[in-house]
Amino acid sequence: MNAGAVRQRAWYEREARFIPAHHQPAGLIDLALMRGIESHRLLRGTGLFYQDILGGRQFISAEQFLRLIDNVRQLRGGDDCSFLFGQQLLPGHYGHASHALRHAQDLQQALDRLVLLRRRLSPLLTPRVRVDDRYVYLHWFDSCGAGAREVFLMEACMTAVTAMCRWLSGGPLPWEYQLRHSQPDYIEQYWVHLSEAVRFGCPQNVMRLPCEYLFKPWPHASLTVGQVAEQTGLDELAAADEMAPSLLEALFDYIHKHVRQPLGLERLAEAQGMSVATLKRKLKHHDTHFLQQLDQVRTYVALDLYLSKGFTSDEVATYLNFNDKANFRRSFKRWTGLLPSEVPGRLA
Amino acid sequence: MPPLFALHRMKLLTLLLVSNFGLMLHLSAGDMKPLSVWDWLDIVGEGGSAMLLLIWIGLLLKSRPAGRVTDLLFAGLGCLFFSLLMDLADEFVRMPDSVSWDAWLESGPMPVGFILLTLGIYHWHREQLAISAQMRNRERLYREHLHFDTLTPLGGATYLKNQIEMSIKQAVTERQPLSLIMLDIDAFSVINRDYGQAEGDRVLQVITQLVLLNLREHDLLCRLAGDRFVIVLPNTLESQAAAIAHDLALSIKHLAYRTILQGERLALSATTVAVMARQEGAECLLERLNTRLAHAKQTSLFRSA
């Protein structure tokens, strides 16, 4: 790969100002204002002014959006703000992308469009869809270094998809949820806004639904409007030079593609056209490090093979190039907190 | 703080004038002590106490509406402040021996202040009893403002969990049954989406008032989260609780709710379930109640489909 070509917007980082402030941030600001938080306290430290947002031309970075979330969490102090924020997040009012989602024919198309137009629809968390013969899985990964706000974002995004599906499909869908964080003391918010089927302390942030819901037609959707909106949304992203993934997404994809080969920090840095020191610095800036990213992908692959593709644990070990079975079991335990033998009972 | 001054302008002005008058009197009758004989310990002690009293007065006026109880408390604190201020002035000004009124200025207001303060606190207590009567069905035995919900004037989930814990203990010692009702508004997200969140908030407030009207003396209503409420019913069997739950669902169904802006009639309904506490903790009981609600919702969904 040519280093010069790579540097030309192969990815974007958390300082990139690509989130229109009057899209998702505005929803959060409205929520806070409605709850009596003053706008200047809300925007403190974000470098934003309410007047500029009203102008409709303000673009903010993931970093600023995350700072805004921090402020809301500190000032509001309520357990329900992530859920209330999430409820109105999708399909939202973000131009063509929202239209495309609103007019999805079925869940399959909605999820496809969510992934395709994620830069507009879900700028802070990356959705990834996976299907096996029983379930459709919607995984959520950090895309811009969310750090301690991961819980807030997971609550918001999972609520968003749940609420959107309930609205567009005409009734609640039996989603089940697995979350990485431990059970918070406001579990009742999960009951009300998601469902009773929530499990905490799991290896991945994922929600799943029986496959049969993928192709159930959704009422009130217009095929043509949806198609056109999807295409226009994509054109708009391309015109703004915003088709590139985030740095963390790009790394995930590269590691995923080369997961069967031994992969070190050096090779990854080389493939992205930067020095090891630069990559390390960038990862640190995104509140993560190489091993965390590597483990994240290997967990994703291992659990897919093990639970969905029916591999035995030995086969998974071989697939991931572990020569030593004991070593694999140890690593697996580190990734998931579980032994391979415990997985079917806990996660299936 | 414009409201503070608008409401209590006269009181603050009087306090200012009286303390000023006292100081003037001291300065006109005596002469300044030299710096060398100032007793710093007394100055810090008396001055600090006077400052703290001033802070109390500020907090009091800021937090209370005007009225008799506020006036009494203010007068009491004002007297104490004045007395301490005169004490403090004494440290800086030497009075000639012929003057005796300064001792009166110092010591006179103190007992008066204490008496007024006592009267004020007594009436505050009476007032609190009156307010507590209005909090009927919304709190029981224990108050913690941090656990109160900001939208509906009800206790939140934390308050509820504490209350269930207490009620379970009480039920065990008194050998009485304890039941809980869970109430969830149907299709609440549709109201939020179609009519806006402000309308949704108002629906919650209206339902809160309606349910409060339907409860008995010792029942407690709390807001669990979102559009889900829990009612704690001491000394109640499951069958009685189920009857109450059914009544609540009926009363919500018959409520003629109209929207704020257009006055459009919204048909509201709620799913209610009741369970009786067994040998279990608060968390466990709440979880069982929630599971039962989920089943009830599912059945009603199937029936409508």
Q: Which chain A residue has the Cα nearest residue B297?
A: A172
In terms of DSSP bridges, do strands A198-199 and A176-178 run parallel, antiparallel, or are they unpaired? parallel
Judgement on whether residues B125 and B179 belong to the same structural domain of the protein: no
Record the tokens describing residue A112, joined without a space.
Answer: 């496809």
**b/e code A184-222 from CB counts within 10 Å (16+ = b):** eebbbbbbbbbbeebeeebbbbbbbbeeebbeeebeebe
Judgement on whether residues B157 and B279 belong to the same structural domain of the protein: yes
Res B5: pLDDT = 62
Q: Which of B99, B112, B120, B107 is nearest to B57 (CA)?
A: B120
Final residue of a domain: which of A211, A239, A267? Answer: A239
Bridge partners (DSSP) of residue A19 are A60
Res A9: pLDDT = 59
For A44-48, A285-289, A340-344, which range has the lowest pLDDT when averaged over its residues?
A: A340-344
Judgement on whether residues A265 and A192 belong to the same structural domain of the protein: no
Q: Does the structure show a pLDDT above 90 at A144?
A: yes
Judgement on whether residues A18 and A39 belong to the same structural domain of the protein: yes
Does some domain include residue B190?
Answer: yes
CA angle, A238 as apex, A206 and A52 as ends, to 5°?
Answer: 85
Sequence-distant (≥ 6) Cβ neighbours of residue B142 within 8 angstroms: B162, B163, B166
CA distance B284 to B293: 14
Q: Does the structure show a pLDDT above 60 at A266?
A: yes
Final residue of a domain: which of A187, A213, A239? Answer: A239
B299 touches chain A (CB under 8 A): no
Contacts of B294 in chain A (CB under 8 A): 195-196
CA distance A284 to A290: 9
Q: Does the structure show a pLDDT above 70 at B145?
A: no
Does some domain include residue B158?
Answer: yes
Res B4: pLDDT = 59
Q: Which chain B residue has the Cα nearest residue A77?
A: B146
Nearest by CB to residue A192, choosing from B192, B197, B227, is B227
With contact defined as beta carbons under 8 Å apart, do A193 and A159 qualify? yes
ipTM of model: 0.84
Judgement on whether residues B110 and B158 belong to the same structural domain of the protein: no
Q: Which of A295, A334, A288 is nearest to A147 (CA)?
A: A288
> Strands (DSSP E) along chain A, which ranges?
17-20, 59-61, 125-131, 135-142, 176-178, 198-199, 206-210
Q: Which of A80, A92, A48 is nearest to A66 (CA)?
A: A48
Judgement on whether residues B125 and B166 belong to the same structural domain of the protein: no
Q: Which chain B residue has the Cα nearest residue A81?
A: B226
Integer-rounded Cα radius of gyration of chain B? 29
B224/A172 CB distance under 8 A: no
Dihedral angle of Cα B197, B202, B204, B208, to the nearest 10 degrees: 170
Res A5: pLDDT = 43
Burial of B90 (0-12, 13-18, 19+ CB in 10 A): buried
B187 touches chain A (CB under 8 A): no
Does some domain include residue A4?
Answer: no
Integer-rounded Cα radius of gyration of chain A? 20
Judgement on whether residues A136 and A94 belong to the same structural domain of the protein: yes
CA distance A117 to B292: 39
Q: What percentage of chain B has pLDDT greater than the value 70?
A: 95
Final residue of a domain: which of B85, B110, B134? Answer: B134
Judgement on whether residues B107 and B164 belong to the same structural domain of the protein: no
CA angle, B164 as apex, B160 and B167 as ends, to 5°?
Answer: 135
Contacts of B228 in chain A (CB under 8 A): 188, 191-192
Judgement on whether residues A161 and A127 belong to the same structural domain of the protein: yes
Contacts of B286 in chain A (CB under 8 A): 188
Judgement on whether residues A206 and A63 belong to the same structural domain of the protein: no
Q: Around B206, how many Cα atoms within 13 Å sit in the side-chain half-sphere?
A: 19
Q: Which chain A residue has the Cα nearest residue B200?
A: A84
Final residue of a domain: which of B64, B99, B134? Answer: B134
Final residue of a domain: which of B71, B101, B134? Answer: B134
Determine the length of chain A: 348
Res A64: pLDDT = 95
With contact defined as beta carbons under 8 Å apart, do A204 and A300 qualify? yes
**Averaged pLDDT score across all residues of chain A:** 91
Q: Does the structure show a pLDDT above 60 at A63?
A: yes
DSSP alpha helix (H) spans, chain B = 2-29, 40-63, 68-92, 101-107, 109-134, 157-174, 188-195, 197-213, 238-253, 282-304
Judgement on whether residues B207 and B288 belong to the same structural domain of the protein: yes
The count of structural domains within chain B is 2
Does some domain include residue B79?
Answer: yes
Q: Does the structure show a pLDDT above 70 at B144?
A: no
Q: Does the structure show a pLDDT above 50 at A4?
A: no
Q: Which chain A residue has the Cα nearest residue B185?
A: A192
For the segment A172-200, the average pLDDT, to the nearest whole number, is 94
B305/A171 CB distance under 8 A: yes
Nearest by CB to residue A189, choosing from B225, B286, B294, is B225
Q: Which of A220, A231, A213, A215 is nearest to A113 (CA)?
A: A231
Q: Does the structure show a pLDDT above 90 at A164?
A: yes
Judgement on whether residues B118 and B212 belong to the same structural domain of the protein: no
For the segment B202-231, the average pLDDT, to the nearest whole number, is 94
**Residue B234 Rama label (left phi>0; alpha psi -120 to 50; beta):** beta
Judgement on whether residues A227 and A120 belong to the same structural domain of the protein: yes
With contact defined as beta carbons under 8 Å apart, do B132 and B143 qualify? no
Residue with tokens 């606190």: B121
B198 touches chain A (CB under 8 A): yes
Record the tokens describing residue B113, joined without a space.
Answer: 């202040």
Does some domain include residue B246?
Answer: yes
Q: Does the structure show a pLDDT above 60 at A262?
A: yes
Among A residues 179-208, those touching chain B with beta carbons less than 8 Å apart: 185-186, 188-189, 191-193, 195-196
A192/B226 CB distance under 8 A: yes
Dihedral angle of Cα A181, A183, A189, A194, to the nearest 10 degrees: 60
Question: Helix, strand, or coil here: B223?
Answer: strand
Per-position DSSP letters for A24-82, written without gaps between them: HHHHHHHHHHHTT--HHHHTTTTT--HHHHHHT--EEEHHHHHHHHHHHHHHH--SSHH
Judgement on whether residues B15 and B67 belong to the same structural domain of the protein: yes
Does some domain include residue B57?
Answer: yes
CA angle, B213 as apex, B212 and B216 as ends, to 5°?
Answer: 80
Dihedral angle of Cα A175, A178, A184, A189, to the nearest 10 degrees: -10
A191/B225 CB distance under 8 A: yes
Res B31: pLDDT = 84
CA distance A248 to A296: 11
Judgement on whether residues B111 and B179 belong to the same structural domain of the protein: no
CA distance A322 to A331: 10
Contacts of B193 in chain A (CB under 8 A): 88, 167
Does some domain include residue A22?
Answer: yes
Res B134: pLDDT = 75
Q: Which residue range(s) make up the domain with B201?
A: 145-304
Judgement on whether residues A302 and A281 belong to the same structural domain of the protein: yes
Q: Which residue range(s) make up the domain with A34?
A: 13-77
The count of structural domains within chain A is 3
Final residue of a domain: which of A23, A50, A77? Answer: A77
Nearest by CB to residue B226, choosing from A88, A172, A193, is A193
Does some domain include residue B271?
Answer: yes
In terms of DSSP bridges, do strands B228-234 and B220-225 run parallel, antiparallel, or are they unpaired? antiparallel
Instruction: Write the CATH number for B188.
Output: 3.30.70.270
Does some domain include residue B155?
Answer: yes
